[in-house]
Structure 1
Amino acid sequence: MPERITLQEIKERISRFISKRNWEQYHSPKNISMSIAIEAAELMEHFQWLSPEESRDLLGNAAGRAEIEDELADIAIYVLDFCNLFSIDIEKIIARKLGKTAKKYPVRLVKGKAHKYTYYQKLKRKSKA
């Protein structure tokens, strides 16, 4: 089983990996954001044209799961690299975003539903009218 490391240790490893290769010069916001999107597209490619059931089955297959885990790792590495390079506290911004999202999607309105938040905004306006 792989060793367990903290988020800070992962960020430090990523930084060292890039630094040892002198790749900082290529890691602009544009390039890293594009790399995140490219890796996300590679993740989506595994599921393209599969039914919901087939996509779940893919994760039950050891080889398929390993490929998907690699794509997720690539995405996470680029996200953490972006955060490292531009002094973004990932833990802080995730907590902040979860707070904003909780306000957009209050449990009492959304539980078991999958509408966009604008649907719930319309419901709130109608109930006030």
Structure 2
Amino acid sequence: MTIDELRDMVTEFSQRRDWERFHTPKNLVMALTGEVGELAEIFQWLTPEQSEALCDDEEGRVKVEHEVADVLIYLLRLSTVLDIDLATAVQAKLKVNEQRYPVNLARGRAVKYSELG
């Protein structure tokens, strides 16, 4: 399934419920932030090892999948409302990041681009 197909499914879901009037950019960003918070809550007090193993069991996997899906749903709605082509936006941002994080400086380093020099 493509990003556009997912966007269409989410839009149709919202339209059938007459929710579009509530889906302002501000409301969608607030909802997206809440869902990211719910995803973070799942991982909050886990050790790195526990976080890596969380999806090894069905219950953990379902919790994570549901929150990841909620994040994507709100992101898709926001991109629709703001008329942002996600594929184009991602490609453009990766080009920016290619400049900010050259492989020879960034490989194996978890630092911000301003600290790579």
- Report the TM range for the smaller structure's normalisation: over 0.9
- Tell me the alpha carbon deviations over residues 27-60 of structure 1, each in whole angstroms, 9 at most, x when there is no partner: 0111000111100000000011111001111121
Equivalent position of 1:16 in the other structure: 12
TM-score under structure 1 normalisation? 0.87
- Corresponding residue for residue 75 of structure 1: 71
Number of the residue aligned with 1:58: 54
Which runs of 4 or more aligned residues in structure 1 lie more than 6 Å from their structure 2 counterparts after TM superposition?
A: none
Structure 2 counterpart of 1:25 = 21
State the identity as a percent: 38
The alpha-carbon deviation at position 6 of structure 1 amounts to 2.1
Whole-angstrom distance in 1 between the partners of 2:105 and 2:14: 45
Distance 1:43 1:86 in 2: 24
Distance 2:62 2:95 in 1: 32
How many correspondences in the alignment?
117
Larger-gyration structure (1/2) = 1
1:27-46 mapped onto 2 (5 Å cutoff): 27-46=23-42
**Structure 2: gaps spanning 5 or more residues:** none
Q: CA RMSD in A?
A: 0.8
Unaligned runs of 5+ in 1: 124-129
Higher relative contact order (CA 8 A, sep 6+): 2
CA shift digits 1:60-82 (9 cap, x unpaired): 12110111011011000111111
